[in-house]
A = this chain, B = another copy of it.
């Protein structure tokens, strides 16, 4: 299943399912945080603000992992290891609004800070495993 998200797990991306994104710190230790995410048919997409720990980590080290659990059943999940294929500010504002629509049911991201620059990361799945 390397490289593709199985059809029968793609429903996870239509639910308000958080991803748990692991990145690597400068000293090689892992870091993990809950994130909003979606899937564009090729890449898993996440979005954060420029300068945050995971932003810095993903710029330095493209290796990441993300697990997405079914909010209705914690024993059903998708675990992906992969690489950050693209980091871009282009479309990042529209993307955070898209995620806001999915997770909060609102049109505009309500937590934007003054001067904050949103960044979109496209994660290429390399090793995909499923449970449940």
Contact = CB atoms under 8 A, between A and B. Distances in A.
Interface of A: 16, 18, 20-25, 27-34, 61, 63-67, 69, 71, 74, 77, 79, 81
A24 B32 contact: no
Given A20-B20, A22-B22, A67 B30 contact: no
29 contacts: A16-B74, A18-B69, A20-B32, A20-B34, A20-B67, A21-B32, A22-B22, A22-B30, A22-B31, A23-B30, A24-B24, A24-B28, A24-B30, A27-B63, A28-B28, A28-B61, A28-B63, A29-B63, A29-B64, A30-B63, A30-B65, A30-B81, A31-B65, A32-B32, A32-B65, A32-B66, A33-B67, A34-B67, A34-B77
B74 A30 contact: no
Given A30-B64, A34-B77, 5 more contacts: A21-B32, A23-B30, A30-B65, A30-B81, A34-B69
